[in-house]
Each structure stands twice: as structure tokens, then as C-alpha cells.
Amino acid sequence: MLRKAFSFMKLAPAIPRLSGTSEQIAKIYRYWRIRAFYAVFFGYAFYYVCRSNLSVAMPILRQDLGYTKTQLGAITSTFYIIYAFSKLINGPLCDRSNPRYFMGIGLLLGAIANIFFGFSSTVFFFTLFWALNGWVQTMGSPSGPKTMSNWYSISERGSYYGVYNTCHSVGAFAILFAGGFMVEHWGWRYGFVVPGLFCVLGAFFIMKRLPDRPESVGLPPIEEYHGERSPGEKDYAEGETIWHTAWHYVLKNPRIWLLSFASLFVYIIRYGLLDWSPLYLVEAKGSSVGFAGLKASALELFGIPGGIAAGFMSDKLFGARRAPVAVIFLIGVAASATALYFIPPGHGVLHALTLGLAGFFTYGPQMLVPGLAAIDYASRKAAATAVGLTGFMSYLGATMTGYLSGWLADNYGWKGGFIFWVSSALIAAVLMAFLWNSKPQMKNNRKPA
């Protein structure tokens, strides 16, 4: 009964190939590629509206309810640990699901969790609803890589994926930019209820516009269309088990494991800066809550060109090798975070610019390491599963930074937090250096798009 009730979420079946001239097929393919791109881009941007709001609400929530930084860190860590483990489940499920409904329903449930969070007043219910949000957020995160691997081939994927990956910066920038002033003037509850209502609309947008794979609309697989099928790779095997796919393409792949451990350290500094910079600016730099949110939004704003540049560089300058760009950017974010710590109070523009540089350099490896490189090495049929594993490790790192950053700041001051974050960036750079010359192999008989 339950399986039948959720049968609409299954992978959309392949339909007979469309007939027509090469120009006609190219026009149809172009339409569906554009539609898939904007639907998954704006869809996942909505996801970040409903998850980056806690960081900007923290100062007012802490002021109103008297929570310590350690308690707030425990709430964020609960989100991340649930997010990490649910990645292991929802990644493989996403590979067997229609992203239109898998992603759309996840956003709808996340919106509901945000609204209930906004009406709560105790640590127990804050943790409960934020944990629920953490679970359903992983219905969105693997849907993007899966969709991009379905509609964009390896040789072009870095550039397109780099643009796609800016979607969470767009969503987070929107809530950091508007949310700081919203919670300062209306109260912290509005920072959850209002985004939740917007995300209800976003969920229905996804379920209306996002397509599944090319075969489901009568088009050839993207590798076949572009003549870039990886050696030995076959089309989707409908009867292949989740375990077989996970074992063959992901768990036996040493490059995926190296990416996974690097991802852990990438996410320590990513969420260290993203979650804690507004509070750091208020306490250590003397900023108001509203302007702290505005300055912190530079992380996301500058992260947009950072992700695009990283993808373009990996395609055009390094021939689809992702690791060299990741190493360069990780050194950059370590330097930027160090500079932020040493800039004294009263230099608000410099604080914002330094956070912007940190965002630029953070979102390059954030896009390349757990996302683009993972789907390159795993194949499109296991893209969401690979991202599930790298995402699990990523959010173990985010869990660590949630609790440990709060604990370090409470017990050793902000210096302890910055040492933790910068060291993590440098460790990630060392791990990625082992993949410096590694890139996915492919048969190249490319056709024009």
C-alpha cells in the first residue's frame, strides 16, 4: 500500500525516441536543457532560503531567549548530523526517483519545518524541527547533481555546474541580506515563518517545471548525444539494485573516498564562516545585527563568481581536472579567513570585502570537491549516490564546526575558532593535491549541442 502511494516518485520511464532532423532534435534538446537548468537552479536556491536563516537569526534569538553559543551550536550540529546520515539514504533513493517530486516534496516539508520552528520557544522543539529540516534538505541536495549529470556531459559540466552551484549562494544571499533587517525590526520568528511561506511556493514551482532524464522525454542520453560515453558505461539499468550501483561505482572507488575526506575539511571552514560570521562580527567587531547580516551576505555574493570561475578554470585551463583549482582556492580561503581575524574593529568595509574573498575561494572547492568531481568519477547513474557519500562526510565536518566552533569561542575566544577553520582548509588542500593529475576518462566523439 505504502509503495503504491509513493509510486509517482519513481524514476520516470524511458519513452520511444523522438524522430526528426538533427536540427529539430537539437532544438528540442536545448529547450529541455534550459528548462532543467533553471528549474533545479531556482529550486535549490529556495532550499537555502529555508536553511541559512538560522545564522542571521542567532543574535536576536540568543538575546531574547538567553541561550549560550554552545546551545546554539548544538542546534546547528543536530541539523548537520541528521543531514549527514540522511545523505546516505536520500542519495541512493534520489538515483531511483523522479527529481521533480523528490525535490519538490522535500522543499515543501522543509518549509513546514521552518514555520513550526518560528512558532517554537524551547531548545527541544528548536532542535526537533531543525533536525526535520536537516533530513528533508537532503532530498534537494542530490537532485541538483543528478539533474546536471543527466543533461550536461563531462567536457562541459564544469562550466555549467559552476553556474548551477551558485544557486545556493543566491538563496543564502537573499536570506542573509533581507533576513538581518527582518529579524532586527520584526523579531527572529519572522526569519523562519516568512521564508517558510516563500518555500511553499518554491516547492510547487519545482513540481511543475523540473524534468527527469532525457530518455523520459524521448531524447538520447547526454553521453550518447555528445559522443562522450565513459568506457564500459551503460544506460540506466532499471533492474539494477541500489546496492550494486553503490558498490560498483562509489564504494569501490578510491577517488570518491579521498574526495569524501577532503569534503569533511572543506565544510568545516565553509560552515564555520557561514554560520558564525554574523555573531562574530557583532561580538568581536562591534557591528549591529542588521549590518552583520549584510556584511556576512558578502560570503554568498562573492561565492557566485567564485563557483563559476572554479568550474570554468577546471574545464578550460586544466582539461576537466578539478583538484588543481580546489587546491588553489583552499589556500585562498585560508588566507582570507586569517586576514578577517586580524582586521581590527571599525573597518566595516574591509570586514565585508574580506568575507567576500573568503566566500569567493570557499565556493570553488565547495562546488568541485563533494559535487562536480564526485559525479565525474562515479558516472551519471550513480551521481546522487556518490554525492550522498561525499555529502555525508561534508556534513560530518559541518557537525563538527557547529558544536566545536561554539565551544571553542566560549572557552578560548574567537581565536580558537579561526585556528580550527584555517587548519581545516589547509588539510583539505593537502588531500586534494593527491588528485592533482586525476580526471575522468571518456570516449570523445563529441557532437555539437
Predicted confidence (pLDDT) per residue in 411-449, tens digit: 999 999 999 999 999 999 999 999 988 876 555 444 444
298-317 confidence digits (pLDDT tens): 888 898 899 889 988 988 88
Return the pLDDT at 446.
Answer: 47
How many residues can be counted in the chain?
449
The pLDDT > 70 percentage for the chain reads 91
Say which residues have a Cβ less than 8 Å from residue 209's Cβ, sequence separation at least 6: 35, 38, 39
Say which residues have a Cβ less than 8 Å from residue 183's Cβ, sequence separation at least 6: 56, 57, 60, 190, 191, 289
The CATH superfamily holding the domain 27-228+253-433 is MFS general substrate transporter like domains (1.20.1250.20)
Q: Distance between CA 303 and CA 359 in Å, rounded?
A: 5
Return the pLDDT at 239.
Answer: 56
64-109 confidence digits (pLDDT tens): 888 887 888 888 888 888 988 898 888 888 888 899 999 999 999 9
Q: How far is CA 282 from each of CA 10, 221, 409, 415, rounded to the nearest angstrom? A: 47, 51, 13, 15
Of the two residues 145 and 420, the one the predictor is more confident about is: 420
Q: What are the extents of the domains in the chain?
A: 27-228+253-433
The pLDDT > 90 percentage for the chain reads 42
Q: Distance between CA 68 and CA 77 in Å, rounded?
A: 14
**pTM of the model as a whole:** 0.76
| Single-letter residue type at 171 | G
Q: Distance between CA 233 and CA 221 in Å, rounded?
A: 12
Whether the Cβ atoms of residue 166 and residue 307 lie closer than 8 Å to each other: yes
